[in-house]
Every structure is written in C-alpha cells, then in structure tokens.
Structure 1
Amino acid sequence: MQETGSADPFSLSGVIPPTITAFDEDEAVDYDRTAAHARYVVDGGAHGVFPLGTNGEFPLLSGEERDGVVEAVVEEIDDVPVIAGVGAPSTHQTVRHAEHAESVGADGIVVVTPYYYPLDHDAALEHYRTVAESVDLPLYVYHIPSKTGNALSLDTLDALADIENLVGVKDSSKDVPWLAQAIDAHPDLTFLAGSDSLLFPGLEIGCSGMVSAVANVFPELVVDLFEAYEEGDEDRARDLQSEVYDVRDAIKYGSYMAGVKSALPHAGFDAGPLRSPLRLMDEEDEEAMVADLEALDLL
C-alpha cells in the first residue's frame, strides 16, 4: 500500500463509519442513541467516527440538531478521532458549523462540496480556504458529486491541496481513475474510500482507510477486511470485499437509505426511523434482506 497522509496530523487510517443519527418514533433526534451508535461501531473495532455524513441524514437536520449530534458524539467518543460533518450549501453556514465543532472538541471536520448551486474552480477554492481559515482543525474534503451536483476537477484539487490545514479527501465519486490520479499527485493527503464497492480496490490504489456504510451495521466485518490487508493477506481481504458486496446488495432493498437503519435492529441496535421523506423498508423488503443476511451467517 502506498504511504499517504503525511500532511494529516492523525495519519487517519482504517475504518471510519459515517455514523447514523437516531430518531424517536416522532422523528425527533435521539441524541443518546446517536452517541450510542458511535460507541457501537467503535466497540466493533472502528478506527474513527464520522457523524453527519450521508448516513447521518445531515441535510434533513436543523442547525441546532446538527450541533447537538456533534456534541453528543464528541462527549461519548474519546478513544478514536471524531471527524464531524460540517458542510452546507453556503460558506457562511459551513463556517458556523466548523467553529461549533471545534468549540466542542471535534478532532477534525469533513466539508462536503456545497450543493444545489453549481460551483466553479474559484468558488470551490474560496469556499474551502475560508472554512479552513476559520478553525485550527484538520479539514477533509467530502467529494460526492452524485449527491451535490459538483465534481472537483483534478486541477481544483491541486489548488485545494495548498491550503495549510486541508489534509485529506473522502471520495465517494466512484471515479477510480480520478481517485488514483488524485492519490498519485498528492501522496501527502489522506484519502478515504467512500463507497463499500471500493474498499479493497481503494486500499490497492493508496487509500489509507474507508468510510463504510456497511460498517454502521457490521463493523467487525469491515475492520477484518482492513486488518487483513494491513497484515499483507490480500487474498483474505479480497474475499471479505466479496462478502461486503453481498451485504451491500442485501441492504439495498427498499428505497434510498433504507438499508442501514432497517438492518441495524437485526444486528442488535435499534436506531429508529429515517427522517421523512426517507423511509425504512416495507415488511416484504425487510424479510428479503434478513433472509440474505442470515444466509451470510451475519445474524
């Protein structure tokens, strides 16, 4: 594996699940259960936690709720890094979230590219520079153009890499050539594979870790994959990637985002519903998912 991340004070590596935001039956945030889920994945071997990513349903939360989630997770987790999602459509709002995350003790911030409005090179550079200058925390770019509508070019990443405390990229583009070239050009940055479809391949091209939705339910499985790779057992790591593919297929029944929270109760952790308009699986899809997971000996 290529050594990357010399600019990252944490040299962040391993499995960093994008932890969930738990809700009660009325869709109010359950902060205690949200923190308990972060503890669940850390107890399962996770090397860090990332609250308020896509799995954390951050676009559906108010600013006050987002602050509460970060506070709850930071208070619970002190044995691995907490890198908090602070991204928003506006630079002003992102800065406010970043400053709050720093004030309550987050170890780093994850900044998704602004979404809804198109973002050109100069706007992206100014946005990330302004956010980075607002705090003393390490900043990780969250690149997920399928959701934000804004892809970062390799030229833009070159410019972003000159920002002093911008230390890494969580890439969910699934654009392997883009990721491979980004790693090749910037080995000093930390790169985290942001799709369960690319855990093993990501390590092969130089990612130091992975932000895995599957790890929200089965952290031990993904940790085993990472540790096998670290120990040089690529055959086992490849086999475990195949198992992750099967789990990924099983939790893709139902509508978008239904899988993790529909599967968690069957793994022993009830995180409540998704916030509307997202929704859990219906009974038929859930039964199919459970049958698939049981066939994999995971339940």
Structure 2
Amino acid sequence: MATADPGEADPLSLRGVVPPTVTAFDEEESVDYDRTAAHARFVVDRGVHAVFPLGTNGEFPLLTQQERGRVVERVVEAVDGDVPVIAGVGAPSTYQTVAHAEHAESVGADGVVVVTPFYYPLDETGAIEHYRRVANAVSVPVYVYHIPSRTGNALSHDTLTELVEIDNVVGLKDSSKDVPWLVQTIDAHPELTYLSGSDSLLYTGLAVGCSGMVSAVANVFPELVVELYEAYTGGERKRARELQGTVFSVRNALKSGGGYMAGVKTALSFRDFDAGPLRSPLRRMDETERAELRERLEALDLI
C-alpha cells in the first residue's frame, strides 16, 4: 500500500516530515528567539516538508502567551515561505486557544494545530464546540492534535464525525498510538490529512494511510527521517523498514535519561546546535546521561 495523498479538504496538502521544532532557552530559562528560529531553519535546510512550532517538543505549556506569539513570529520569518508553518495554538481554554490561533494567522502561519483541551474532563459537546469556535475564528486550516495520554481527553469516532463537518478542520495529528483507532478514522474520513505523531509508528503510519509524520527524532536527525519517508514513497519498503529500526534505536537513546525532550536538546548539542536547557521543571541530562547518549548515537554512526 502506498502512502496516502493528503486529504482533499487540506489546502496545504501536508505530507512528509514535519518536525515539532524546539523552543531554545538561555541559561536563565528565558526564550532565545534567535536560536528558536535557527532550529526551524536547521531542519528546513535538511529537507523537511513543514515545521510545527509549539508542539510538545516546543514546551508550549511552559511558555507565556507573549512568548508563544513571538516564537511563531520568528519561526515564520526564519522559514520565509520555504515550507508550511503549522503553529501549535492549543491551551486548556477555548478563549486562550482562539487568541493564539488569531495571532498565529496574523503573523503568517500557514495553519494551526489545536491540541484537545487538557486538565479538565471534556465531553463530546464541549470538544465539538471548542473546535468550532477556533475554526470560526481563523481562515487558515485547522489540524486536530489527538494525544489523550497527555490531555486526558480522547476523541471518539462519533466526535470526529462531527468535527470533520466544521469548515477549516482539515487534518489530524494522531499521537494516541492506537493503530486500530487511526485506521478506522482514516477509513471513515479519507478527506482529511493524517500525520502520524509517534516515532515508533512512522513506517506503520505511512502503511495505514498517513501522508506524513510529526517526528521528534527529526528535530535532531532530519536527514534520517526524510530518508525513511523518501524510501517508503519511492517503493523501497525494505529500506524504509530498516530505517524505522534505526529511528527506534535513536528514540530509545533519546529517552534514556531526563525524558525525551532532554535527549533531543542534548543530541542537538552533539550536532553543534545549542538549544540551551529545558524550562523547569523539565531538566537537562546530567553528565553521565550525556555520555551514555553520545556513546549510543556514535554506535549508530549518527554523530
């Protein structure tokens, strides 16, 4: 089965590798906007197909509204139209989400990614009304970000059926890791664009009908994930499967100490890109963890 084309409802026709780019900080944990923008340029220059600032890897829940707005502005400037910028605008409240979405559109983001509201339990009526209000507030395409392990709010198939009727809702980034749920959703709503949201399921996502993938590994090694995508779409399935194995190994190494995002920023430093620390309470890797990560990435011949 070939990777699916983007959904006909999606004016951006998103496909390929979409890194959830990092937010860089200085040693005092203030946002380093120059380095944040430079990281977006780092992955674009290495062949990715779009960028997604202010996703989980962008530490969006730890930023102020003003910081989030400035990150989107600088990333849009840095990318300069070379690939689409789909900005994360999610927040616990619809009010905040709408404000983020309106600002992202005003500074030139090509689309917005709306994570399911988190902290408070959300019923079907609340979810539908949330996405309707966001979509009605902007004219750029809206992509639903489904990550129930982080939000505590899963979307049912019945809810998705209602969401796809909303103008501007054009795609879904699925980080549920629930492959049967994803397959059933793709079958029911082929007009949407689907992006696989887990590095453990890049190959699988393409095989079941996703047109692209949001990959944290691609924040550090965009060339690796682009090669996987191009091998798959070029019919070299055996090579793509081998590369998925390498991505598994990188993913496991990045998660070996301090959490996935600590691994991402540490590994970037091995590629001479300093994204600084994470914002507390997240922490960077200690020296022992750094040394172990370097050893594992050297064994994979990636640094």
- TM-score under structure 2 length normalisation: 0.98
SS in structure 2 of the partner of residue 184 of structure 1: helix
Report the counterpart of residue 83 of structure 2 in structure 1.
Answer: 80
Between the aligned partners of 1:294 and 1:150, the Cα distance in structure 2 is: 39
Between the aligned partners of 1:253 and 1:238, the Cα distance in structure 2 is: 23
Letter in 1 for 2:43: V
Q: Kindly, what percent of the aligned residue pairs are identical? A: 70
Question: Which of 117, 122, 144 is the aligned partner of 2:147?
Answer: 144
Letter in 1 for 2:266: S
Report the counterpart of residue 216 of structure 2 in structure 1.
Answer: 213
Between the aligned partners of 2:167 and 2:138, the Cα distance in structure 1 is: 11
Greater CA deviation, 250-259 or 112-121? 250-259
SS in structure 2 of the partner of residue 200 of structure 1: helix
Contact 2:6–2:15 (CA under 8 A) maintained in structure 1 = no
Question: Which of 249, 266, 269 is the aligned partner of 2:270?
Answer: 266
- TM-score under structure 1 length normalisation: 0.99
Greater CA deviation, 154-163 or 251-260? 251-260
Report the counterpart of residue 288 of structure 1 in structure 2.
Answer: 292
Contact 2:116–2:145 (CA under 8 A) maintained in structure 1 = yes
Between the aligned partners of 1:214 and 1:192, the Cα distance in structure 2 is: 15
| CA-CA distance at 1:4 after TM superposition | 4.0
Residue by residue over 1:85-132, the C-alpha shift from the partner in whole angstroms, topping out at 9 and shown as x without a partner, is 000000000000000001000000000000000011000000000000
SS in structure 2 of the partner of residue 220 of structure 1: helix
- Aligned-pair RMSD on alpha carbons? 0.7
SS in structure 2 of the partner of residue 164 of structure 1: coil
Between the aligned partners of 1:186 and 1:76, the Cα distance in structure 2 is: 34
Between the aligned partners of 1:277 and 1:251, the Cα distance in structure 2 is: 18
Matches within 5 A, 1:91-102: 91-102=94-105
Report the counterpart of residue 234 of structure 2 in structure 1.
Answer: 231
SS in structure 2 of the partner of residue 163 of structure 1: coil
Letter in 1 for 2:155: L
Letter in 1 for 2:110: D
Report the counterpart of residue 128 of structure 1 in structure 2.
Answer: 131
Letter in 1 for 2:235: G
Contact 2:6–2:14 (CA under 8 A) maintained in structure 1 = no
| CA-CA distance at 1:285 after TM superposition | 1.1
Between the aligned partners of 1:186 and 1:287, the Cα distance in structure 2 is: 46
Query: Any gaps of 5 or more consecutive residues in structure 1?
Result: none
Letter in 1 for 2:120: Y
Letter in 1 for 2:145: Y
Between the aligned partners of 1:103 and 1:203, the Cα distance in structure 2 is: 33
Between the aligned partners of 1:267 and 1:204, the Cα distance in structure 2 is: 31
Question: Which of 8, 15, 35 is the aligned partner of 2:10?
Answer: 8
Query: Any gaps of 5 or more consecutive residues in structure 2?
Result: none
Contact 1:253–1:281 (CA under 8 A) maintained in structure 2 = no
Question: Which of 122, 142, 158 is the aligned partner of 2:161?
Answer: 158
Contact 1:144–1:151 (CA under 8 A) maintained in structure 2 = yes
SS in structure 2 of the partner of residue 274 of structure 1: coil
Report the counterpart of residue 178 of structure 1 in structure 2.
Answer: 181
Contact 2:25–2:31 (CA under 8 A) maintained in structure 1 = yes
| CA-CA distance at 1:5 after TM superposition | 1.0
Between the aligned partners of 2:187 and 2:41, the Cα distance in structure 1 is: 34
Question: Which of 24, 27, 39 is the aligned partner of 1:25?
Answer: 27
Report the counterpart of residue 92 of structure 2 in structure 1.
Answer: 89
Between the aligned partners of 1:18 and 1:175, the Cα distance in structure 2 is: 20
Contact 1:86–1:98 (CA under 8 A) maintained in structure 2 = yes
Contact 2:267–2:294 (CA under 8 A) maintained in structure 1 = yes
**Runs (4+) off by over 6 Å:** none
Between the aligned partners of 1:26 and 1:253, the Cα distance in structure 2 is: 25
For this pair of structures, how many residues does the alignment match?
299
Between the aligned partners of 2:231 and 2:47, the Cα distance in structure 1 is: 13
Question: Which of 53, 70, 73 is the aligned partner of 1:71?
Answer: 73
